[in-house]
Structure 1
Amino acid sequence: MGLITGLCTFLYHLPQIYKWLLKPYYITSLLMTVAFLVVRKAPGLCEHLATQREDGNSCDFDWREVEILMFLSAIVMMKNRRAITLEQHMGNVFLFSKVANVMLFFRLDIRLGILYLALCVAFVMTCKPPLYMGPEYIKYFSDKTMDEELQRDSRVTWIVEFYANWSSDCQSFAPIFADLSLKYNCPGLRFGKVDVGRYGEVSERYRVSTSPLTKQLPSLVLFQEGREVMRRPMVDNKGRAVSWTFSEENIIREFNLNELFQKSKKLNKSHGLNEEEQNSPQPEEGSNELPSETNNPEQPTESKKDQ
């Protein structure tokens, strides 16, 4: 049953996986993930490698290598229990596979270990995960525009993501937040993002840590009437973030998005009707002429990314 479920999941995500294969980051990550397997099994090369097997077969894994690979599988399974998107699952596989490969190559030959470690360092420094470029309805703030926009209209509720481009968790969360913005955005409920890795003053003002070891990225903050109402993950008295899973279901439930969306739509309709009544011509006293009907023009749409 588990094998069938895994196969169905793979087939479902096959179009997305195919797109990944066209990107250098994923191609290189995949090659580095299977590097030790290729070296150990490659004909003409594996015969010259050292081995601790009793039968002396250097083209197969010895007991210590099997132990390391099994430990790797257990770690990946544990980490992937908290993963939400397919990108997070694959990111965990790539990360811990590279760590295991470093250990395996150093154990096999210190020269191969140094070479593989150098390749890993070069990969981290030169090759970054592709950023999400799909559809979204999000306003991007700077340090100068954020407070001004939040205070512009007290009737507008904002859900703002504090993120950093170097954070893998933020990159994995990007398509989820974009999908929520497409489903729930309306003039009374809007979505915004601010790069606290770029704007340090914003991170200090809103108490969002940008440390490489921080658990506060990404952070979602709900603003009503220009004031912070709630945030996830929550931060305790010692400044430590309380663990929280950034799934679409959790966000909809915790932030009451369905209720906020319905209230925002009602507010906008009533506001539009009031404006229409004020702008419509009134009949003169004693006249039998009825006021002409006016059509409420549609709200102008916001650009996808307004820096």
Structure 2
Amino acid sequence: MVLITGICTFLYHLPQIYKWLLKPYYISSIFMTVAFLLVRKAPGLCEHLATQREDGNSCDFDWREMEILMFLSAIVMMKNRRAITMEQHVGNVFLFSKVANVILFFRLDIRLGILYLALCVAFLMTCKPPLYMGPEYIKYFSDKTIDEELQRDTRVTWIVEFYANWSSDCQSFAPVFADLSLKYNCPGLRFGKVDIGRYGEVSKRYRVSTSPLSKQLPSLMLFQGGKEIMRRPMVDNKGRAVSWTFNEENIIREFNLNELFQKSKKLNKSLGLVGEEQKNSPPEEGSDELHTNTPEEPTESKKDK
């Protein structure tokens, strides 16, 4: 039953996956993932390769290569148990397959190992995973706008993601955060992001370390009344993040998004009624009119990055 469900899910998302895999980053990664398989099976080339098989067939895997591939499969399955999105699943396959390919090529021929390792380094330096460009309702902050926006209207609750473009965890989390913004965004509950890899002062101001060893990327913070109420992941006394899974269920539960959304809708209705009454009746002499802030459209786009 689980297998049938998995196959149906794959077929349902097949058009999206097909379009996604056609991007240059994924095309290159696929070729590098299957590089050893292609070399070992290539007619005219595999006959000249070394092998430890008893039958001397150099166009098939020997027992040691099979062990390495089986170990690779086990590692990928273990890592993917905590994967949230399809990007994370595929990213784990790419990463550990390249590591296995390096070992296999060095074992086969040191010259092939050096060549493949050089290709991996060049790929790492020149190719970056594509940024999420799907639908979202998120305001992108800079170092100069984040404080101003959080303090603009204390009635607005903000959920802000602190991220860095170079972080694979942040890239994997992007579609999850975008989906939450589409479901829960309203004038009283808004979503924002700030690239602390680009704006280092913001990382110091909000005490979010950009070091890969700290495991603090991404970080989510809840702001109410312009002040931080909570953050995930939490940070211990040594400045290291407490392990926390960034999936949709955990975020909805920990940040009480359903409750926040209902309260924000009630606040919006009450503000709307007050606004209508003031429109229909002139304000009394000496009284101040109530001004409601309408939410601004996102002013900073990913293209600016």
TM-score, length-scaled by structure 2: 0.92
Query: 1:214: how far off?
Result: 3.2
> Which residue among 278, 300, 303 is the counterpart of 1:306?
300
Structure 2 counterpart of 1:241, one-letter code: A
CA distance in 2: counterparts of 1:30 and 1:202, whole angstroms: 37
- Which residue of the partner structure matches residue 254 of structure 2? 254
- Which residue of the partner structure matches residue 66 of structure 2? 66
* Residue pair 1:136, 1:304 contacting (<8 A) in 2 also: no
Structure 1 counterpart of 2:82, one-letter code: R
1:76 aligns with 2:76: yes
* Residue pair 1:138, 1:305 contacting (<8 A) in 2 also: no
| Matched pairs, number | 294
Structure 1 segment 99-178 matched on structure 2, within 5 A: 99-178=99-178
CA distance in 2: counterparts of 1:303 and 1:279, whole angstroms: 25
In terms of mean alpha carbon deviation, does 240-249 or 7-16 score higher? Answer: 7-16
Distance verdict in 2 for CA 1:6–1:186, change over 3 Å: closer
CA distance in 2: counterparts of 1:10 and 1:30, whole angstroms: 18
* Residue pair 1:80, 1:92 contacting (<8 A) in 2 also: yes
Residues 221-269 of structure 1 deviation map (CA, whole Å, 9 limit, x = unaligned)? 0000011111111111111101111111111111110100010011111
1:9 aligns with 2:3: no
Residues 53-80 of structure 1 deviation map (CA, whole Å, 9 limit, x = unaligned)? 1111111111111111111111100110
Identity of aligned residues (%): 87
Structure 1 segment 1-307 matched on structure 2, within 5 A: 3-281=3-281, 302-306=296-300
Matched residue SS, 2:186: coil
Residues 132-182 of structure 1 deviation map (CA, whole Å, 9 limit, x = unaligned)? 111111111111110111011110000000000001111111111111111
Query: 1:305: how far off?
Result: 4.7
Uncovered stretches (5+) of structure 1, i.e. residues with no partner:
283-297
* Residue pair 2:153, 2:293 contacting (<8 A) in 1 also: no
Matched residue SS, 1:223: strand
* Residue pair 1:208, 1:219 contacting (<8 A) in 2 also: yes
* Residue pair 1:40, 1:61 contacting (<8 A) in 2 also: yes
* Residue pair 1:47, 1:59 contacting (<8 A) in 2 also: yes
Query: 1:12: how far off?
Result: 2.5
Structure 2 counterpart of 1:71, one-letter code: F
Matched residue SS, 1:240: coil
Structure 1 counterpart of 2:258, one-letter code: N
Distance verdict in 2 for CA 1:3–1:274, change over 3 Å: closer
CA distance in 2: counterparts of 1:100 and 1:213, whole angstroms: 24
CA distance in 2: counterparts of 1:87 and 1:20, whole angstroms: 10
Matched residue SS, 2:190: strand
Query: 1:279: how far off?
Result: 2.9
Over alpha carbons, which structure has the higher Rg? 1
Distance verdict in 2 for CA 1:124–1:7, change over 3 Å: same
Structure 1 counterpart of 2:254, one-letter code: E
Residues 6-61 of structure 1 deviation map (CA, whole Å, 9 limit, x = unaligned)? 43333132112210232110100000000001111111111100011111111111
* Residue pair 2:187, 2:294 contacting (<8 A) in 1 also: no
CA distance in 1: counterparts of 2:48 and 2:4, whole angstroms: 39
* Residue pair 1:137, 1:302 contacting (<8 A) in 2 also: no
CA distance in 2: counterparts of 1:152 and 1:231, whole angstroms: 21
Structure 2 counterpart of 1:81, one-letter code: R
CA distance in 2: counterparts of 1:43 and 1:134, whole angstroms: 42
Matched residue SS, 1:129: coil
In terms of mean alpha carbon deviation, does 269-278 or 42-51 score higher? Answer: 269-278
* Residue pair 2:214, 2:239 contacting (<8 A) in 1 also: no
Query: 1:273: how far off?
Result: 1.4
